[in-house]
Structure 1
């Protein structure tokens, strides 16, 4: 390679490097400015209220053939369409169930969804207190998941003892009465544990943040067929008066057989 060819090659390479750096700065200037002005998209925005400290929820989940589309701007300058489809609503329903922190009370005519059953089991494994009331005629009719759920001792299940059809479809997540009951059972268990009561130095007090409960109720049975094929609706609300009325109804169906709270001293 002669001198002229070498000089031309070096000049061309330098020009390419300079041009690429200039292009990079121009790109960063324009697109970073747009990114700063554009709201960030979070895939969990549809269930943002679940992470809200106050957990104020007023929502409706519609299982319908009509697809509701939302256009969202994503930085730097693209737009994507989110469809409120049956699949997304199934995900949303399960995410509400998974948000339980202390208790889950379920009053459901029919539970056949394997995915929801698995989520209930996971909640129980996390020491969420789970109670389920189901209609006696449908409890063990295939493909009911009740037999599977009953295999786990930490999930309490009762079939409705009422002579009339138990056709409810609701669940209460972290209801105040249910949490109070859980705390009462925990206190009773601690009183039975003489060692933990007497060994004051080893005892530690755990402070829990208050949790606001909410209820989900509507036409939907927890079945895959209903979520995939039927027109169904579920209302989700944390309004205390509504949550209180559903808790009262649940307690009227639940046959309480917890041991009496005993007091003892060391």
Structure 2
């Protein structure tokens, strides 16, 4: 190879190296800019903040309205209530709250016709989350009620209200303290009866369960597509301990207990 060809080869190689470095820097610049923009967008969207259920300190209002409004109301002591008034967003929020259940879900609802919510309840039951549902006896099996579908699954307990008056409640309790205590009692009773006896030799030592702060959702909203799409409705979501406790007490007054472990417990 003569000197002239060598110079051309060296020049070509240097050009390729420089060009590749420039491409890398340009890609890195635009990649970091995109991430920065996404981060800023997330920080500015206050509606996303209330969906962070890590600590379960919740004070939220869901309004199904025709207007799209996002604003935050500060209430003592230094708590923020974020109100997001967009039907699509609020349907997403409602289901996200339901999906956040980790141990139990107690539902007291006049009417359940939303197939999407019914599917979410089934998925929770498949994850060994204890589900109890109380519905009004007159509306339980009136089409398009989802109760017959839910009753097909043995891991979902459904009862119709035994009261002589109309059961018009519309609330659910997620990971309520009393419900979790009941679940633990049922588990202990099952183990006592050696339900899982065939697995005891290979079973691992169970880890200490994490504590999940319970919360309640209550308002005018039935779990129906009609209500979420067409009606003006409101739902209050709170983890306030006293409020959760009162709703748990009301649920227990409507639920007829039949499990022997609870009937004989002291």
TM range (shorter): 0.7 to 0.9
CA shift for structure 1 position 33:
7.1
**Corresponding residue for 2:255?**
254
Q: Which secondary structure state, in structure 2, belongs to the residue aligned with residue 62 of structure 1?
A: strand
Equivalent residue for 2:48, pick from 22, 45, 49? 45
Give the distance between the partners of 2:248 and 2:195, measured in 1 at CA. 33
Structure 2 length-normalised TM: 0.77
Q: 1:185 to 1:62 in 2, by over 3 A?
A: same
CA shift for structure 1 position 85:
1.8
Map 1:56-205 to 2 at 5 A: 56-68=57-69, 84-193=85-194, 196=197, 204-205=205-206
Unmatched runs of 5 consecutive residues or more in structure 1: 1-10, 71-82
Q: Is contact 2:109-2:135 (8 Å) kept?
A: yes
Give the distance between the partners of 1:59 and 1:195, measured in 2 at CA. 41
CA shift for structure 1 position 28:
5.5
Q: Which secondary structure state, in structure 1, belongs to the residue aligned with residue 52 of structure 2?
A: helix
Q: 1:46 to 1:225 in 2, by over 3 A?
A: farther
Give the distance between the partners of 2:258 and 2:192, measured in 1 at CA. 18
Give the distance between the partners of 1:129 and 1:103, measured in 2 at CA. 5
Q: Which secondary structure state, in structure 2, belongs to the residue aligned with residue 172 of structure 1?
A: strand
Q: Is contact 2:64-2:85 (8 Å) kept?
A: no
Q: Which secondary structure state, in structure 1, belongs to the residue aligned with residue 39 of structure 2?
A: coil
Give the distance between the partners of 1:21 and 1:259, measured in 2 at CA. 73
**Corresponding residue for 2:3?**
none
User: Once the two structures are superposed, what CA deviation does each residue of 1:41-92 show, in whole Å capped at 9, x if it has no partner?
Assistant: 4599244332x1x21111111100011258xxxxxxxxxxxx8520111011
CA shift for structure 1 position 206:
2.6
Give the distance between the partners of 1:230 and 1:35, measured in 2 at CA. 38
Give the distance between the partners of 2:129 and 2:255, measured in 1 at CA. 18
- Return 185-194 or 93-102, whichever deviates more: 185-194
Unmatched runs of 5 consecutive residues or more in structure 2: 1-10, 72-83
Give the distance between the partners of 1:48 and 1:150, measured in 2 at CA. 30
Structure 1 length-normalised TM: 0.77
Q: Which secondary structure state, in structure 2, belongs to the residue aligned with residue 245 of structure 1?
A: helix
